[in-house]
Amino acid sequence: MRFILGSVFIVLCSPLFAADWEKVTDNLAKKEKAGYGGLCGITIDHSNGHIYLNVSDKGIYRSTDQGSSFSLFSNEVKGRTEWPGCMMLDPTGKTKRLVAALVYGSPILMGDSEGKKWNVLDKKSSHVDWCAINWTGLDSKFILAFKHESNGMILLSNDAGQSFTEIGKGFSSAWVFDNKTAVAMQAKTKEQPEPKIMRTTDAGKSWTPVANFTTPALPQWRDGKLYWIVDGGAIITTANKGETWDKLSETKEGKFGPMFGKSSSHLLVLGKTGILESIDEGKTWNKPIPLPADLKGWSSLTWFDYDPINDALYVMKMGSELYRMKRK
């Protein structure tokens, strides 16, 4: 087991965004007669700024004009998403694949950003908080999914979601690198007072501890590196499929992210008191940009994303409206 601690220097700088949030949606959930939860989560296509918004029980709605209007994109994704990051576009940018894991409604769905075709996975993947798939290959044989309210149970598939088996409880988040390699974060519990990052190189048959961290947040991928915000707010990274980990930065209050700008040096992190920004890969951070007052602070169901094409932040919480903030 090897972990590298780098020196981290934090300076709080003035925010670079405007002072006010704009409400992008206007009673969209009510107008569309959404189910419980209303607006449940977003993801943004970083190549063109298109917004994909889950409306509970109605499907995914899309905006191609920075939120000025939304139209039904797909009614196949019925039910609701909840966990930030459970609806995701291909982070490698090599395909237009879109994956949605629903807490209530359909099993996991795999489609694309044009909504032309959806592949519904095995019914055992219903009622899950999130899933992790192999983005490096089109077959995506190796899949991990997190069962909702099941004491940290992770499901595993090695046949592209045609079947799933239970691999054990006590986990919190995960990432799949290829059809053999993945990492899964253990949750801190009474039975696991010192949780670890567990790694497999044989598609889940065996797991080995590689570092001592825990977090419920899903990690983020950029330019051959995986970034993970762990409890305590630190950002850790790996460039060798989770074999070793470096500490990139100490945000102290980070909860989700980082999202990226046009380079991997531009980081945006959702924290307890707002959104932090760094333009030097986490060496220095701006003062937190407060969240919209209607959100009443951060919660585990707070979603945020960044549109690098139009230089705009988006944030919402399940049940709230969607808000946008543009650069000054």
User: What is the DSSP code string of 249-299?
Assistant: EE-SSEEEEEEE-SSTT-EEEEESSSEEEESSTTSSEEPPBPPPGGG-S--
Residues of the chain with pLDDT > 90, as a percent, come to: 84
Contact 174, 182 (CB under 8 A): yes
d(CA 163, CA 244): 31
Is pLDDT above 60 for 15? no
Task: Encode pLDDT of 49-84 as tens digits.
Answer: 999 999 999 999 999 999 999 999 988 888 999 999
Place of tokens 């992790």: 132
What six digits make up the tokens of 229? Answer: 């915000």
> Coil, helix or strand for 236?
strand
Under DSSP, the state recorded for 12 is E
**pLDDT bracket for residue 227 (50, 70, 90):** very high
φ, ψ (nearest 5 deg) of residue 226: -105, 130
Q: How far apart are the first and last CA of the chain?
A: 45
How many other CB atoms are there within 10 angstroms of residue 8's CB atom? 14
Under DSSP, the state recorded for 327 is B
Single-letter amino acid, residue 303: W
H or E segment at 31? Answer: helix 28-31
Single-letter amino acid, residue 193: P
Domain boundaries, the chain: 22-222+299-326
Place of tokens 């069962």: 147
Is pLDDT above 60 for 13? no
**Which long-range CB contacts under 8 A does 197-202 form with residues at least 24 apart?**
197/242, 197/245, 199/242, 199/243
Averaged pLDDT for residues 220-243: 96
What six digits make up the tokens of 295? Answer: 């959100």
CATH of domain 22-222+299-326: 2.120.10
Single-letter amino acid, residue 156: L
Q: Which residue did the predictor score with more confidence, 113 or 28?
A: 28
**pLDDT bracket for residue 19 (50, 70, 90):** low
